[in-house]
Structure 1
């Protein structure tokens, strides 16, 4: 999914750096006018275009969120308009359209892939469907490329023709210079040739310097030989001086322009006008040129410094990207023991990827290498993650089959009246259940509910069949209610001996036998609610209190029969398995969650609290089971 994105990134970096180098070469100071070493306008225009491209490329990365195009269809419509219209084909707009299109295209592909994965799809079987918009876009871009190539060829042919025209003008002026006696008579022809020279536009950059030097040489020779009357000559020099002084002032003002690139382009136009303006008197030529050259030097240095700062920024970006590579490589090396670890590390890597996108280009020679290093680590991590969850899915399926078998066995035993053997068999099934790993939450909850219902159905029926005398249970109920009332009285006013009184009443309460089955939950809740209130006031830990109460009651339970302790132990084992299964369910769910929002964070925190509470309850149950084992050993 990253090939197109990488390609767009590579193209942007390569073009941007190449153009920047061309722009830097344009920063050289022009030589003295007398030697005609100022860069010709054709070369300056080429450099200005290159510089403009460089700025466009470097700024595109920072304005992606400001694009006018929100869909691929909008981009495609604009590309078609350019491909089939008669208007200009600006390179910066075309490059931006390409970047925006593939940005939207990649986002669309990623969204489809994510939708497929979220729906439970297998990453290895995911297939990328060819995109008609992308094929249409490529076709239109081919048309644009061909049109631009044709325009470029026509422009080059035109430049070559312009060069021949200017060369002919130089030859004509050269012939005038060779006949000094005819200079005055040829003055009007000379001015006409100058005007024709100005009207001829761009020529090949490789020939510009040599052509300009020859032109300037013979123009100055003509002026030197020209035997105009003093008034006409001085008037011409004065007029040229006024123009060049104005150009010097305009160049000096550019030093205060905050837009360095715009100032550089304006300077090229001033240079063109300066070259096309005739000479001033010999005694002022050096002075005027030095003034214009000094103003140009300031702009050129600022322009050069601008690109040096860009290079320094690219170096800084390389340092930042190298640090991110090291950081993501360290995360990728960490061990992933379960789904929660994979999701935790996935979140960290996505955060680093987001930070990576905020960093601009690195230097050209390293930009592709550093990107390949970063992408290789990401691909390796997500490839291993996909393999892990594929294996996990297979394990879930295997665990689900095992639990379904246990459910069927429990359902087959739930109506049995062979209390002892069936109890042992169900307890055996419960032990086997807890050895089986996790399954998906929805199916796991369903299977556990069916298994638990079958077990509870049998044990409830067994408990009902083994119920004791009802009168004794009602008497026990009344006794327990009286103790609860006494505890309520203690809760209203806690005295110094309250703890001893509570301990005595709890021992008395625990010594009382069973109550009617229908009342046991109500009286149990009422008793423990008042105890919770008392223990909170007395700063007694609930866990210790429950365990002490349970331990104190063991002898009473053992006195009820040889199976009483075993029954209680079986009940605790079922309770332990139930709590453990609930813990596994929560932890499994946590492995599939990620905290992409504040609400998500709150949900994870709440689930973690529940898990810890359930684990504390499991520890208390284990202590109770150990106490029963100790009591059995004592018996």
Structure 2
């Protein structure tokens, strides 16, 4: 900025010096005009002064017109004084006319110059040359000036239109940037209460930042202000995000400590032989575990395995000590074999609705039957589901009903391994459900940025919609499975 100011000062100083030189030339021309008897003799001096005038360029803008008029006045007066050598005057007029015609042609060509700003600056140089060129024959002066002026008007009009359009574009850019600022400033931080919501909002901010980069300059007087407003809004968002995650980390540390305490309690109970009381205590600990919030990912699996291992150990020991159920399990095995035989006996010619109702009744009956001997469970389970799959395929029963029915049937097998296996299965389903919800949110956010203006965009939109609907269906199925487990746990209690 200081260099530019120094350069401007130097240029103004040079303009003032040029002004004094040209004023001196005018004074000398005035003296020549005031010596009419020596006009022919002074012609050489006159041409020398003209040469000096042309060599001196820019003067202060406020003095240009007045200076040029005075110069032209005395030049024309000098020519009027020439009597004995009229040929010199006519020759000068002719050469000046050629030069001014050439300048007119150059100005007219600028109307087709693609770079409007360059054309405008070139025109200013042509104007300077036009002024510096001597007069033409009196009868041609108005005509040649009118031609040059008309060409200048065209270039000036294009220059003005260019900057009016530029001004309109910059205003449009300012409007777009203002909208982006308003969107970020309008964020309700009270709604951002978990990791997923903050990450989704972060992706929105990044998208807005990328959009900002594609927008051109705003008007010069507002360009810096609107950028500072945008940067302030973004800085506030990321500052609050940092504060949230700091708080979240503190909360996760508290949750980790709570889960460590639960692990210690479970480990203190795992060797107990008071089966009923201890089972109730461990069940309470498992319910309390479900109420504790998440911990950092790097600790999540380790702390869970520690807790569930203590619970599993106790219930495995309890199962070994309660072998009186074997006879009941054998009876259950026979019941399940009968159900499999009934399923096998269903005639493929049976009415679809009637067959579907019968299959569901037998599945319900299967689910009501208790545990079977451990060594037989996989075999009978495989036979049952093999027959169910055939019937579902034969009578075209919906896939989701099939999956849910299969899951209900598998619950008893899960319990046979260890009652705590239900809690492990529930924990796994809850995690899967949260992951699918996050994935669904991501797809739905992506849908907001897509358009169908192209075939490619339309195909991508269709594919994303298909994935969204499938995820919604999968989430609903997982929720139903969790509900089935919760019902089984309640019945067991």
Match of 1:618 in 2: 482
Of 361, 376, 390, which residue of structure 2 is paired with 1:519?
Answer: 376
How far apart are residue 147 of structure 1 and its match? 6.2
Equivalent runs, 1:400-419 vs 2, <5 Å: 400-419=256-275
Distance in 2, Cα, partners of 1:527 & 1:535: 12
How far apart are residue 500 of structure 1 and its match? 6.5
Equivalent residues, number: 468
How far apart are residue 482 of structure 1 and its match? 6.7
Q: Secondary structure of the equivalent of 1:227?
A: coil
- Please, which moves more after superposition, 247-256 or 200-209? 200-209
How far apart are residue 195 of structure 1 and its match? 1.1
How far apart are residue 289 of structure 1 and its match? 0.9
Match of 1:104 in 2: none
Distance in 2, Cα, partners of 1:359 & 1:471: 78
Structure 2 residue 93 is the aligned partner of structure 1 residue 237: yes
Structure 2 residue 78 is the aligned partner of structure 1 residue 222: yes
- Deviation track 1:454-487 (CA, whole Å, cap 9, x = no partner) reads 2122212221222247688668657745754663
Match of 2:320 in 1: 464
Structure 2 residue 124 is the aligned partner of structure 1 residue 260: no
* Cα distance change, pair 385–627 in 1 and its aligned pair in 2 (3 A): same
* Cα distance change, pair 469–439 in 1 and its aligned pair in 2 (3 A): closer
How far apart are residue 260 of structure 1 and its match? 1.4
Distance in 2, Cα, partners of 1:255 & 1:531: 85
Q: Indicate conservation of the 8 Å contact 2:404/2:477, yes or no.
A: no
* Cα distance change, pair 469–264 in 1 and its aligned pair in 2 (3 A): closer
- Please, which moves more after superposition, 322-331 or 306-315? 322-331
Distance in 2, Cα, partners of 1:216 & 1:418: 123
RMSD between aligned alpha carbons?
4.1
Q: Secondary structure of the equivalent of 2:323?
A: coil
Match of 1:296 in 2: 152
* Cα distance change, pair 463–269 in 1 and its aligned pair in 2 (3 A): same
* Cα distance change, pair 444–504 in 1 and its aligned pair in 2 (3 A): closer
Distance in 1, Cα, partners of 2:344 & 2:318: 35
Structure 2 residue 397 is the aligned partner of structure 1 residue 539: yes
Equivalent runs, 1:151-190 vs 2, <5 Å: 154-190=10-46
Equivalent runs, 1:68-467 vs 2, <5 Å: 154-332=10-188, 335-467=191-323
Structure 2 residue 348 is the aligned partner of structure 1 residue 493: yes
Equivalent runs, 1:1-80 vs 2, <5 Å: none
* Cα distance change, pair 231–501 in 1 and its aligned pair in 2 (3 A): closer
* Cα distance change, pair 252–510 in 1 and its aligned pair in 2 (3 A): closer
How far apart are residue 386 of structure 1 and its match? 2.1
Q: Secondary structure of the equivalent of 1:278?
A: coil
* Cα distance change, pair 319–509 in 1 and its aligned pair in 2 (3 A): closer
How far apart are residue 181 of structure 1 and its match? 1.6
Q: Indicate conservation of the 8 Å contact 1:177/1:218, yes or no.
A: yes
- Deviation track 1:589-630 (CA, whole Å, cap 9, x = no partner) reads 7799898899xx99x96987765443221122234455567x
- Please, which moves more after superposition, 296-305 or 325-334? 325-334
Unpaired stretches in structure 2, ≥5 consecutive residues: 450-459
* Cα distance change, pair 458–401 in 1 and its aligned pair in 2 (3 A): same
Distance in 1, Cα, partners of 2:249 & 2:436: 16
How far apart are residue 437 of structure 1 and its match? 0.8
How far apart are residue 149 of structure 1 and its match? 6.0
Match of 1:574 in 2: 423
Q: Indicate conservation of the 8 Å contact 1:434/1:577, yes or no.
A: no
* Cα distance change, pair 202–507 in 1 and its aligned pair in 2 (3 A): closer
Q: Secondary structure of the equivalent of 2:218?
A: coil
Q: Indicate conservation of the 8 Å contact 2:100/2:144, yes or no.
A: yes
Of 385, 398, 413, which residue of structure 2 is paired with 1:528?
Answer: 385
Q: Indicate conservation of the 8 Å contact 2:433/2:478, yes or no.
A: no
Higher relative contact order (Cα pairs below 8 Å, separated by 6+ residues) = 1
- Deviation track 1:174-209 (CA, whole Å, cap 9, x = no partner) reads 211121222211100110111122223334445444
How far apart are residue 279 of structure 1 and its match? 0.7
TM-score normalized by structure 2?
0.80
TM-score normalized by structure 1?
0.63
Distance in 2, Cα, partners of 1:340 & 1:246: 72
Unpaired stretches in structure 1, ≥5 consecutive residues: 1-144, 554-564, 630-635
How far apart are residue 531 of structure 1 and its match? 2.6
* Cα distance change, pair 259–221 in 1 and its aligned pair in 2 (3 A): same
- Deviation track 1:192-245 (CA, whole Å, cap 9, x = no partner) reads 111122223334445444433332222222222233433332222122222212
- Please, which moves more after superposition, 502-511 or 316-325? 502-511
Q: Indicate conservation of the 8 Å contact 1:315/1:362, yes or no.
A: yes
* Cα distance change, pair 314–428 in 1 and its aligned pair in 2 (3 A): same
Distance in 2, Cα, partners of 1:326 & 1:469: 69
Q: Secondary structure of the equivalent of 1:288?
A: helix
